[in-house]
Amino acid sequence: DNSQKQETIVKQPEATSMTVESDENVSETNDTAEDTKIVNNETDSVKIAVVYFSGTGNTKTIAEMIAEETGADIFEIIPTQAYTEEDLNYNDDNCRTNKEQNDDTARPEISNDLSATTEYDIVYLGHPIWWGTVPRIIQTYLETYDLSNATIYTFCTSGGSSIDRSLSDLRAWYPTLNIVDGKRLNDASKSEIAGFCYR
């Protein structure tokens, strides 16, 4: 229960000047709090989300590390039709993923509601590299939900390819998005994650 949780929140003095109009519960606690510490990330003025798709778990691991590092809320992009091992076998020209990646119009359906992800100031968007770029389901996501108010950082895992092409593809396809930077974070250490999150 969110509202109950927020009633226990009290802020440090320097936090009292932040903008909280959008959140009734938080603003109620605003003037009572002088000297106690922030106990919940919901009081932060900057809302951070990690949104990711992961076929085989590598990107998920990194996504969870970023969420832990930043205190972000984490959202998984879940395909309606899960990717099987067969689907992901890129040695087979006819496998599902190869067909999707070769088809500019392919937009695999997402099963879960991710509308809450449009409410964040910073979005870390994570994906594996498939044939040099983002899986098509990332396009489904960006075309379904309007992230134009967010500052976006992308991250990827891959077998070796850099993030450069997926970054330039996303910027070309979605010019209204503010994609600041992106980084390949394979097997990243905690300090590498922190370096990515706090520049």
Ligand X SMILES: Cc1cc2nc3c(=O)[nH]c(=O)nc-3n(C[C@H](O)[C@H](O)[C@H](O)COP(=O)(O)O)c2cc1C
Task: Give the nearest distance from C-beta 61 to ligand X in angstroms.
Answer: 8
> 173: closest CA among 130, 123, 138, 124?
138
CA distance 56 to 84: 9
Helix (H, G, I), strand (E, B) or coil at 71: coil
Nearer to ligand X, 15 or 185 (CB): 185
Contact assessment for residue 195 and residue 167, using Cβ atoms and an 8 Å cutoff = no
CA distance 31 to 113: 35
Nearer to ligand X, 13 or 57 (CB): 57
Task: Give the nearest distance from C-beta 104 to ligand X in angstroms.
Answer: 16
Task: Give the nearest distance from C-beta 193 to ligand X in angstroms.
Answer: 15
Task: Give the nearest distance from C-beta 120 to ligand X in angstroms.
Answer: 21
Nearer to ligand X, 2 or 91 (CB): 91
Q: List alpha helices for the chain, DSSP H.
A: 2-7, 24-30, 58-70, 96-101, 136-144, 164-173, 190-197
Q: Which residues bind ligand X (CB under 6 A)?
A: 54-60, 88, 90, 97, 128-132, 157-161
Task: Give the nearest distance from C-beta 79 to ligand X in angstroms.
Answer: 11
Nearer to ligand X, 43 or 158 (CB): 158
CA distance 166 to 154: 9
Contact assessment for residue 29 and residue 6, using Cβ atoms and an 8 Å cutoff = yes
Nearer to ligand X, 159 or 175 (CB): 159
